[in-house]
């Protein structure tokens, strides 16, 4: 999906995961992982890829997460964030549109999307405005 972001909720890394660095070990994880504390990157362009399943089999449950508590809808999605720009008109090819973005824009962040459904201070889910999506079955 390529769409304008209404606000993204998720987790990102402060540096690339290269070199076998134990970036997820405590206490280092405090420095290497950044959570959004409010929806971020509003009015930016989001290129999102995700996997969705309703009532996934057990092998998929290790990879997917529930969209909200008590739901049978599960998902895993990542978003590349670009400065907003108008997409070329009359172009429906995902490959060509994404290539255009990488040639003309700069990736601001890569975010693992999550849902923050905490009762009192949860910030909810990512929202998207107008855009285009390609959906297929695996």
One pLDDT digit (tens) per residue for the chain, 138 residues: 999 999 999 999 988 777 777 878 888 788 888 999 899 999 999 999 999 999 899 888 889 998 888 888 999 999 999 999 988 888 888 999 999 999 999 999 999 999 988 888 888 899 999 999 999 887
Report angle CA 100, 106, 112 to the nearest 5 degrees: 100
Identify the pLDDT of residue 127.
Answer: 94
**Predicted structure pTM score:** 0.87
Identify the pLDDT of residue 91.
Answer: 83
Closest CA to 79 of 113, 52, 56: 113
How many residues are there in the chain? Answer: 138
CA distances from 138 to 51, 59, 135 (A): 9, 14, 10
What's the first-to-final CA gap in the chain, in angstroms?
Answer: 16
Please state, in angstroms and rounded to a whole number, the distance separating the CA atoms of residues 84 and 43. 7
In whole angstroms, what separates CA 94 from the centre of its chain? 17
Identify the pLDDT of residue 128.
Answer: 96
Q: In terms of C-beta density within 10 A (0-12 exposed, 13-18 middle, 19 or more buried), how is residue 125 classed?
A: middle
* Cβ neighbours for 27, distance < 8 A, ≥ 6 positions apart: none
Residue with tokens 């409010």: 38
Please state, in angstroms and rounded to a whole number, the distance separating the CA atoms of residues 47 and 101. 9
CB 47 within 8 A of CB 8: no
């Amino acid at each position: 999906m390529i769409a304008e972001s209404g606000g993204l909720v998720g987790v990102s890394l402060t540096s690339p995961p290269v070199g076998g660095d134990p970036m997820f070990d405590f206490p280092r994880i405090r420095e290497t992982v950044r959570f959004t504390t409010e929806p971020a990157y509003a009015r930016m362009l989001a290129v999102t890829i995700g996997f969705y399943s309703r009532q996934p089999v057990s092998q998929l449950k290790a990879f997917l997460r529930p969209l909200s508590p008590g739901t049978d809808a599960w998902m895993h999605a990542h978003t590349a964030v670009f400065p907003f720009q108008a997409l070329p008109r009359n172009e429906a090819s995902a490959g060509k549109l994404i290539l255009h973005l990488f040639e003309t824009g700069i990736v601001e962040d890569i975010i693992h999307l999550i849902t923050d459904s905490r009762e009192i201070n949860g910030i909810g889910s990512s929202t998207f405005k107008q855009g285009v999506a390609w959906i297929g079955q695996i």
